[in-house]
Structure 1
């Protein structure tokens, strides 16, 4: 039976990331950095793809406001979708584009879909993340309970904000996945899969480094975003979106 190893969520992409993914036998990476528009994602993903590794662009959209933001990961978008739109507005646009919709880190801190959100959107969410290195064990258990409660397939990802984490986590699908369309189809059709992560001391150290990075991400980096950087390139009122999302923008 054909199988394909996929890391469904990375934030970093460079030669080191590609080398680590290939060394671990990962076949597909979903590259979904924050605040980056889809055309740039597509260009960068194509530049790092080759016969050994497919890089697929994804968008982890910040729905809601900074105070009440809920991340949703979309794979298979044809048109850009901004951040800071309502959750229902984002889901409606994903539906229009027939993108695969994933729930990353459910119930995690203040940046995730809640169990109630997953229940309400259960017919539109194609997979729920049940492991990433920023989670603590109780986060994994809670995420697994959410996925199981609503009969939604699970996935694991490196959620790598640091290149060293890539290659330590993957989801193995029982299918050949050679293109973005293949991945979207595997997610939407619920192809059987298994999740894996390394369990040695070296990878545990990388988990800890990712968890420490989370502190930086939610302190100084957030202050920089909020106070110093001005309008994000994925702000719904940015000129690039031509007013298309004004009716669902929260800012």
Structure 2
């Protein structure tokens, strides 16, 4: 599918500077007079392009991290990690463990950021499986037969020709071969798991409606700008032809 893509999050680092403020209070015998010291910060002076670039690296990386759900880091350890790497010192964490911890941090932040999407999908599927005509497979895929087919059923290794329409739970349509007036041929082992499983349930000439949990769709990453992470998707698929391997 033209819009069925997989996007990856690139791990980045963030840097921030904090300022301290002090407060001094002087009590008198019958009256209380307070004297609060003015906040003082050391002005930052960029002496050369390297200084400006260094600060810009920090703000750019922090902005990217925030856009992916991370809101804070241990800034001292961020700085130490940068210094150790630049100085060629032995790293305190192996590269393998570093990647694992970064992935876990992004996953945790993403789940928190998209908690409403997760909750909406779970509630929808729980209610939808109770609707007349909706069937549920062992994987959690839900489907409804709109038109029965009379031809052959494809295998996972087959290429099929289909018409389809995909929408989010709020009804937003993110892709449609009908609008393009152009059926699509694709290998069933090269698409999302919900399609691979679901289309094999169909026979040529059939039209099904699929309700696909996020873990059988685009998972925690989503797809481009149109499909947010953790999205439960709805597809109407019409199996026109089984082309074989």
- Return the TM-score normalized by structure 1: 0.18
Rg larger in structure = 2
TM-score, scaled relative to structure 2:
0.18
